[in-house]
Structure 1
């Protein structure tokens, strides 16, 4: 067997393929045309209404040009609104619509449930260990990412 099949980069790419396939198939089965980044956008906006697109991009670790397309598609679906930031006319402020909030509320239990299917064959203890290790690697390697994750500042979010 070729060494490629045990290289972390190859395995991570394969796991991403599995994750996207499971998510997409479940959304289609539920009658929704929603991608994982779109779901993440709705989830972040539910916790941080009124953030701008640049902040959203950091919170879901997407580059700024890509997040623009995600936001446009969600706006076209009637799931979020965009408006100019009153204090910075260059920035777009985002909010969920009631349809977006309702869809998110309905999908959160489904997305939680499909997490097991993303890691087939693992016991609960193995899934916990995988998540612990993947979180450790993602946290330590965050600065190397083209679109690093920017966690919310609890002080700013509670203000």
Structure 2
């Protein structure tokens, strides 16, 4: 039997635990109440105004059924609004509010600090190499995920 520290799945899970803890600590210290998924959703909607929830889920590699709760919380916080789609009565388009835009601008330094902290044991070259290798591994296993990224997001 192999040591857990020799298994990529275990190491990926540990890095995810660290990444979430660091993100939440930095964001909370800056005075915000957003999870990493809420931040990713808000940023994706800002860059793609009017997208629907299914498209959003694909953009951030999140499960289509649970994205509703993420969007609900962002709407409750006043950071997003939903509108009926003029193209599809069943779909709801998502728009970031002015409060959402202000939040993204204000939270950016904390998010960037969190990213640096996640890689603090690596020098710049090692950090870039880790990022390259993670992107490569994710691209190779993307279709195995329950929430695969769209092809364009893999680059």
Asked whether the two chains share a fold, i.e. TM above 0.5, the reply is yes
Residues 94-139 of structure 1 show CA distances to partners (whole Å, capped at 9, x for unaligned) of: 0000000110011123212221111231101100000000000111
Contact 1:79 1:100 in 2 (8 A): yes
Other-structure match for 2:87? 87
What residue number does 1:55 align with? 55
SS of the residue corresponding to residue 89 of structure 2 reads: coil
8 Å CA contact 1:58–1:151 kept in 2: the answer is no
Tell me the distance in 2 between the aligned counterparts of 1:106 and 1:31.
10
Aligned length: 152
The reply to whether residue 65 of structure 1 matches residue 65 of structure 2 is yes
TM-score by length of structure 1 reads: 0.91
* Structure 1 ranges of 4+ moved more than 4 A: none
Cα shift at 1:30 = 1.0
Q: C-alpha distance in 1, partners of 2:151/2:48?
A: 12
CA–CA separation in structure 2 for the residues paired with 1:80 and 1:33: 15
Q: How many angstroms apart in 2 are the aligned matches of 1:87 and 1:152? A: 24
What stretches of structure 2 of length at least 5 have no aligned partner? none
Deviation of residue 152 (structure 1)?
5.3
Aligned to 1:147: 147
What is the aligned partner in structure 1 of residue 104 from structure 2?
A: 104
Task: Name 2:39's counterpart in structure 1.
Answer: 39
Pair 152,51 (structure 1): closer, same or farther in 2 beyond 3 Å:
farther
SS at the partner of 1:95? strand
| Rounded Cα–Cα distance in structure 2 between residues aligned with 1:102 and 1:87 | 29
Which runs of 5 or more residues in structure 1 are unaligned? 154-159
Partner SS, residue 51 of structure 2: coil
Match of 1:76 in 2: 76
Query: How much does 1:6 deviate?
Result: 1.6
Residues of 2 paired with 1:85 and 1:53: CA distance?
A: 11
